[in-house]
Structure 1
């Protein structure tokens, strides 16, 4: 399971930046502090890496979607820490029932400002009307898999300040069963399953049954953003591909460079990549900045390493066919 930088799953860890941080373009951060959340400063490594991860997952929507604020649930108060520990116990028991694998995933969920505050104060309270997901894929709480997080972004609602919000959650799915649309299923069909899913091969919804919501889902972050739908027609076009060369794409380059460079340098490159995705810098400027922070020798070594692995994989595939 892919993790966040610096062990950010630890409850009670102090946030980077100051509580009075002002966001981009002079906009004040949503008033979530004091509700079991801490704000993450825009210049912190945590913010940069989460922003890059978010932008990578929403693809072609990035030029129309500006991430402005990031908050993390702290789990520092006794009641919140108890919810954290209940989740960890669920992960452990699910793993024992599933051959050692709790099938943990990261997933997104659109959320209103009121619901976000409620979660910080009381957790995922089942008594709230905010839980109504319509029952289309069963009676449970629906989460969006990270690769299709754009669905949560597009389903989010605008608050009084013109902001939209999504939760980034950690979820212990265990063994998932495909839920037949319209059946009104409200619990596992047998003891062999822990959760539901709309499509086993290409999931767009994870379904956590209501009785499991408080222990199987752990909200981690609140991402607050604005979306410009004035150019909505642009979203219907083929997704814009990221910068690439005959040798390697930027996405693959980042994966390879992470083996050559320290974390702060990788973070800096991801910041440049985000600026490119936001159309703040050109492709040429992005490439130049990457060269400046890595140096041409390391860049050549990284590209060669990628080429060698790709060639080896091609040879192996060829022998397998023969």
Structure 2
């Protein structure tokens, strides 16, 4: 039971901080490798959302792909998870000649921007909101770059996409369909070197050849701005997330949180550490349980019990000790630098 006392509850703060970047390289490699061919055991047929047959295919809720994406999305919206449940997930396919051409153009741009910046294309995952019909049009024909952004172009003439840490902004800006769902596109975006765009400047291209894209704030961006001429070669839609937003729902009542008196580790940090030593199939079980905990479908005690059962106390204890040792070393280094 000593292990349980050292595991804290879910950090209520929103955003993707260091603690939430569990298995980041493994996850991003899987997401970025989407070639749109539509293969894999995680896909199912049917047309419950009207996306199938329009360049997308539904991903099974029991698949590792769905679990990974749901966990990633939930980690970005934090305490809002009980009110914003992921109902459906569709993968964008790039199997037709036209869509395949856009997929190839994106990867040529990825290589070119990386070469320009010493091997770092600065590609990120970001969200773009749109109505269901508009998403179908984007998937089949690309983004419309002929007009002014819907918010009036306050940050220039380009496509505005939302960084993962503030994914909730994209969700809440999306259109509610007749089924009460909101839809957002998870895209891979090539940013290259960014510059801060002055609000109201009417900028429509990079300020110099050194820059590739814009942001509304260099330290804490809430918008990435991809200039219109580059949009369809630097923004690649990968998935459509269909989300039910209901701020009346509360789910399981939260347990009173008591601050542990012994050394502890947050659930998110624990998952980050465990992802480095456990196989992906095991981590998917843990992430699935963590998602259900964030949805308040069961208690923290039940989550901890599940993690213990899946990972084993010996591995848990080793993970906690490893994390504490690294944190102590970092604190010691910081203290020496201040001195």
**Same fold flag (TM > 0.5):** yes
List 4+ stretches of structure 1 deviating above 4 A.
none
Where does residue 5 of structure 2 map in the other structure?
A: none
Q: Counterparts of 2:229 and 2:109 in 1: how far apart (Å)?
A: 13
Where does residue 9 of structure 2 map in the other structure?
A: none
Q: Counterparts of 1:166 and 1:224 in 2: how far apart (Å)?
A: 7
Secondary structure of 1:229's counterpart equals: coil
Where does residue 219 of structure 2 map in the other structure?
A: 201
Where does residue 298 of structure 2 map in the other structure?
A: 281
Alpha-carbon contact 1:51-1:67 (below 8 Å) kept: yes
Q: Counterparts of 2:201 and 2:148 in 1: how far apart (Å)?
A: 22
Alpha-carbon contact 1:65-1:228 (below 8 Å) kept: yes
Where does residue 328 of structure 2 map in the other structure?
A: 311
Q: Pick one of 156, 167, 170 that aligns with 1:138.
A: 156
Which structure is higher in RCO with an 8 Å CA cutoff and minimum separation 6? 2
Q: Counterparts of 2:148 and 2:67 in 1: how far apart (Å)?
A: 30
TM-score by length of 2: 0.85
User: Shift of the alpha carbon at 1:130?
Assistant: 9.2
What's the CA shift string for 1:137-175, capped at 9, x where partnerless? Answer: 111110111111111111111012111001111000111
Aligned-residue CA RMSD in angstroms?
2.2
User: Shift of the alpha carbon at 1:100?
Assistant: 1.9
User: Is 1:150 aligned to 2:174, yes or no?
Assistant: no
Q: Counterparts of 1:8 and 1:90 in 2: how far apart (Å)?
A: 16
Where does residue 191 of structure 2 map in the other structure?
A: 173
Where does residue 256 of structure 1 map in the other structure?
A: 273
Distance 1:131 1:183, change over 3 A: closer
Q: Counterparts of 2:207 and 2:29 in 1: how far apart (Å)?
A: 34
Alpha-carbon contact 1:133-1:139 (below 8 Å) kept: no
Where does residue 12 of structure 1 map in the other structure?
A: 37
- Paired residue total: 306
Where does residue 63 of structure 1 map in the other structure?
A: 82
Q: Pick one of 139, 144, 147 that aligns with 1:120.
A: 139
Secondary structure of 1:149's counterpart equals: helix
Deviates further, 176-185 or 308-317: 308-317
Q: Counterparts of 2:73 and 2:249 in 1: how far apart (Å)?
A: 20
User: Shift of the alpha carbon at 1:116?
Assistant: 1.0
TM-score by length of 1: 0.89
Alpha-carbon contact 1:106-1:170 (below 8 Å) kept: yes
Q: Counterparts of 1:18 and 1:89 in 2: how far apart (Å)?
A: 31
User: Shift of the alpha carbon at 1:220?
Assistant: 0.6
User: Shift of the alpha carbon at 1:306?
Assistant: 0.8
Where does residue 79 of structure 1 map in the other structure?
A: 98
Q: Counterparts of 1:301 and 1:271 in 2: how far apart (Å)?
A: 22
Where does residue 24 of structure 1 map in the other structure?
A: none
Where does residue 14 of structure 2 map in the other structure?
A: none
- Listed as ranges, the gaps of 5+ residues in structure 1 are 21-27, 233-239
User: Shift of the alpha carbon at 1:320?
Assistant: 2.3
Secondary structure of 1:264's counterpart equals: helix
What's the CA shift string for 1:56-96, capped at 9, x where partnerless? Answer: 00112111011000001111111111100100111111112
Q: Counterparts of 1:157 and 1:13 in 2: how far apart (Å)?
A: 27
What's the CA shift string for 1:164-194, capped at 9, x where partnerless? Answer: 0011110001111110001111111221211
